[in-house]
Structure 1
Amino acid sequence: MSEEVQEEKKSGGKGLIIVLLVVVILLLVGIGVMAFLLLSGDKSGDNGSADTGLHGSAEHGSENGHADENSHAKEYSPKYKQFEPPAPESPPTYFTMEKFVVNFNGNGQAKFLAVDLKFMSYYPQVVGDAGEMEPLRPILKNDIERLLRNQSYNELSKADGPDKLRAEILDVTRKVLENHNIYPGLLEDVFMTRFVMQ
């Protein structure tokens, strides 16, 4: 009887050792598979960034697909016209609109509003002399004049009035660009080089 008990203890000990060995082997295999996936994932990430670098002009980004901090290049949808991204050190380019002089709601204080505008972008293809905005000049003039005519002296005479007007002019201009298949974010800002209410 004592021999049967000893055999059961021996076989039970062997079973436990076998189970522990199987668990350890499975853990090692799992760690190996995970390490392989992580390492092969990094390599495919490198290949993906190399592909993006090859098509950098379409993606408007640096080698990793994201715009470099020092770069003025923009990433945008391929549904818009694509332009070569500017060099990181390139200066901004400006598109000048002729003087706007409009009647507006002066509330007895002023009747005329005169504004000169310069639009800024790092993409000369958009704002340069032969850029995309040049053929849109009549549309821009019409839409901006309409916006200016709808202003009121009370709003414009506030401390932040001219800044709000600049933001509205930028919005109107970006909508015109978007309607003509140009990514609106390529237009960075607009500056009023003259702002007179008389």
Structure 2
Amino acid sequence: MAEEEVKEEKKGGKGLIIILLVIVILLLVGIGVMAYLLLNSQGNGASNGASEEVHASAEHGEEPKGHAKTYSPKYKQYDPPAPEAPPVYFVMDKFVVNFNGDGKAKYLAVDLQFMTYYPQVVEDMEHLRPILKNDIQRLLRNQHYNDLIQAEGPDKLRAELLDVARQVLEKSNIYPDLVEDVYMTRFVMQ
């Protein structure tokens, strides 16, 4: 009889240990999930020293709709465009510059249009026209015929032009990614 009681105690002890182990494992999994969710939600906002980004009209946790962008409050804030708003273009004067044509061409002629969905950015770019024109002319004069004649040459030039425009905007406290693209409506080497 005493042997049966000892066996029952051992069985009860094993069951209790198993239950405790299951509870500890579930607690660890729960803590891990909570830590992941907390770290992930903080990582979306201001991780790695980046400032928290908000849009002027993004109130009460609303997500921007359509082509609206969220950006840091350190930049000039604009009213977001309507979700169905068509793009607007900032048209630059025609550019005709001397460039390094290796005797095959002397002039590079380019017409540019910068695309954005923010009409207010186009208005502000108008005030920056002289700076944009200067920096773009400098970029165009430094081009080389052998680079531009390549199949990807005009696309590389477009990327460089967009980068130049975005740098000017950023120096003027305008969020650079509000200008989304640049189009060359004329590209002639002569």
Give the TM-score normalised by structure 1. Answer: 0.69
- 1:35-114 correspondence to structure 2 within 5 Å: 57-58=55-56, 71-114=66-109
**In structure 2, the residue corresponding to 1:188 is in which secondary structure?**
strand
CA–CA distance in structure 1, aligned partners of residues 148 and 126 of structure 2 = 28
Question: After TM superposition, where is structure 1 displaced by more than 4 Å over at least 4 residues in a row?
Answer: 28-39, 58-61
Bigger-Rg structure (1/2): 1
Q: C-alpha root-mean-square deviation of aligned residues, in Å? A: 3.7
**2:54/2:71 contact within 8 Å kept:** no
Is residue 115 from structure 1 mapped to residue 110 from structure 2 by the alignment? yes
The match for 1:150 is: 142
Instruction: Report % sequence identity.
Output: 57
Is residue 171 from structure 1 mapped to residue 160 from structure 2 by the alignment? no
Give the letter aligned to residue 143 of structure 1: D
**In structure 2, the residue corresponding to 1:94 is in which secondary structure?**
strand
Post-superposition CA distance 1:3-62 (Å, at most 9, x none) = xxx3143134134325514643674687589779979x99xx9xxxxxxxxx9734969x
Counterpart selection for 1:9 from 4, 10, 22 = 4
Which structure 2 residue ranges, 5 or more long, are not aligned?
41-52
Post-superposition CA distance 1:76-99 (Å, at most 9, x none) = 333333333333322111001111
**Cα shift at 1:159:** 2.9
- Would the alpha carbon gap of residues 19 and 58 (structure 1) be closer, same or farther in structure 2, given more than 3 Å must change? farther
CA–CA distance in structure 1, aligned partners of residues 158 and 144 of structure 2 = 14
**In structure 2, the residue corresponding to 1:120 is in which secondary structure?**
strand
**In structure 1, the residue corresponding to 2:114 is in which secondary structure?**
strand
- Size of the aligned set, in residue pairs, is 175
Give the letter aligned to residue 12 of structure 2: I
Give the letter aligned to residue 152 of structure 2: D
CA–CA distance in structure 1, aligned partners of residues 120 and 28 of structure 2 = 50
The match for 1:196 is: 188
